[in-house]
């Protein structure tokens, strides 16, 4: 597990947050909006309004910060409401996964990212605005039950 504080530059982060906010007005309980981009091709399943310049800049930032060249990327915008959670699981169909948090959070609200180290020790991470948690497919992880006055906002990213 690798943590990146202040992962995106301010302008790119603000663009991402605006995209999220402009496309989540119809959401109920942990729903997601998905766009997929296959690198080295022009295929973009544009379920949300995302311009190519943003996608290009976002991918460049991911490649630069993570230092991994990937063949494909899948990105989901997730809005989590109370009683949402995610059981412990592996992202085994992807080589790597990442979660980018879009709002600051408090431990007592639940919604903590939980994972087990390779030595079996359970750890928890409280979401923080612009924090990216990066993992490989062999790391088991989940999210604790949410009981919060706010919606938990994340961007899930999977790489192959």
Where do the structural domains in the chain lie, given as residue ranges?
2-159
pLDDT value of position 51: 57
pLDDT of residue 113: 96
Is the Cβ–Cβ distance between 138 and 93 less than 8 Å?
no
2-159, what's its fold? Jelly Rolls (2.60.120)
pLDDT at 134: 92
The pLDDT, as a whole number, for residue 104 is: 92
Nearest in space to 61 (alpha carbons), one of 125, 10, 137? 10
Give the strand pairing for 132-136 and 96-101: antiparallel
- Predicted local distance difference test score (pLDDT) of residue 147: 93
Binned average pLDDT, 10 residues per bin, the chain of 160 residues: 90 81 51 42 38 71 76 77 87 88 95 92 96 92 92 84
- Sheet containing strand 31-38, edge to edge, reads 2-4, 132-136, 96-101, 152-159, 72-80, 31-38, 44-46
Burial (CB < 10 A; 0-12, 13-18, 19+), residue 126, is: middle
Which three-class secondary structure state does DSSP give residue 59? helix
Give me the pLDDT at residue 144, please: 93
Q: Which helix (H) or strand (E) holds 123?
A: strand 122-125
């Amino acid at each position: 597990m690798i943590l990146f504080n202040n992962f995106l530059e301010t302008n790119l982060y603000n663009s991402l947050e605006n995209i999220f906010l402009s496309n989540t007005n119809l959401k109920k309980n942990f729903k997601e909006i998905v766009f997929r981009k296959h690198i080295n091709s022009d295929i973009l399943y544009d379920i949300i309004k995302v311009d190519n310049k943003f996608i290009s800049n976002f991918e460049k930032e991911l490649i630069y910060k993570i230092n991994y060249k990937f063949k494909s990327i899948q990105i989901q915008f997730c809005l989590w409401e109370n009683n949402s959670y995610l059981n412990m699981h592996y992202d085994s169909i992807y080589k790597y996964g990442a979660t980018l948090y879009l709002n600051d959070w408090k431990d007592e609200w639940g919604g903590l990212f939980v994972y087990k180290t390779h030595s079996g020790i359970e750890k928890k991470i409280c979401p923080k605005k612009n924090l990216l948690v990066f993992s490989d497919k062999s790391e088991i992880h989940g999210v604790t039950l949410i009981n919060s006055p706010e919606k938990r906002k994340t961007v899930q990213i999977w790489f192959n």
